[in-house]
Structure 1
Amino acid sequence: MEVKRMVNYKEVGKRIRNARTEKKITQEKFAEMLGVSTGYISQIESGQKCFNLKRLKESEIILEKPTSYFIDGTERETNSYLIDEIVEDLKVLDEEKIKMIKELVKSMTNK
């Protein structure tokens, strides 16, 4: 039984290229940020290959686009990369500062 590919690699590659160029990041710089070769980025953007989930998540953070945008062109989860960045920033703070930030967020969300 043949399984059809559910994701169109050419479209994914095109969206990655568009997001990269919007951010004014060269293929070389993007490859360096991901720890891959420029040739690999070229293959991704032309639809010959597709990122694994780890690289897709890294691309989401670098290009500030949700994974859903790369997969199907929608921008649901539009702030997931920001939440991930905030969580990483919080990890270096002491408990008192985290509590202050929590109270600030509560006041902004009326909870």
Structure 2
Amino acid sequence: MSIDYKLLGERIKIQRLSKGTTQEHFAEHMNVSVGYISQMERGITKISLERLAAISEYLDCDMALLLEGVNSNNDSYLAKDFDLLYNQLSAYEKKILTLLLKEYIENRK
């Protein structure tokens, strides 16, 4: 199994920011250094299941929200993130993206 820790870290950062807390406050609560939080959010540090459970509890979000689609060997890899981004586009932008994606698929090697 290949976990995309960068994607996991980005999701943790998004949840932290939506909670309105700083890396410093988050680090203090988790009893780790600010550097650890920074590395975790950038996907440099691997996170244990126990730590992830504590993170999701602190951020008041389900672990599934953080983990869904982070296995790069899974068919649903990045699907949730793609859907979130896609849904932010206008109808015209969706059409452009679809045309670009079709062209890419037809011409990839």
Q: TM class, shorter-chain normalised?
A: 0.5 to 0.7
SS in 2 for 1:36: coil
Which residue identity is paired with 2:54?
E
Give the length in aligned residue pairs. Answer: 70
The equivalent of 1:33 in structure 2 is: 29
Which amino acid in 1 is paired with 2:58?
I
Is structure 2 residue 46 aligned with structure 1 residue 50?
A: yes
Could you say which structure has the larger radius of gyration?
A: 1
* Counterpart AA for 1:55: R
- Provide the alpha-carbon RMSD of the alignment: 1.4
Gaps of 5+ in 1: 75-111
* Structure 2 runs not aligned, ≥5 long: 70-79, 81-109
Deviation at 1:25, TM superposition (A): 0.7
TM-score for both structures, normalised by structure 1 = 0.59
Residue 53 of structure 1 and its aligned partner are, at CA, apart by: 1.2
Shift of 1:59: 0.8
In 2, the alpha carbon distance for the partners of 1:62 and 1:13 equals 15
Q: 1:50: Cα distance to partner?
A: 2.2
| Cα distance in 2 between the residues matched to 1:19 and 1:65 | 8
How many angstroms does 1:71 deviate by? 1.4
Q: Extract structure 1 runs of 4+ deviating beyond 6 A.
A: none
Is the Cα contact below 8 Å between 1:7 and 1:71 reproduced in 2?
A: no
- Percent identity reads 39
- For the pair 1:18 / 2:7, whether they are aligned, the reply is no
Q: Does residue 14 of structure 2 align to residue 7 of structure 1?
A: no
Residue identity matched to 2:61: K
- Larger RCO (CA within 8 A; separation ≥ 6): 2
Partner letter of residue 72 of structure 1? E
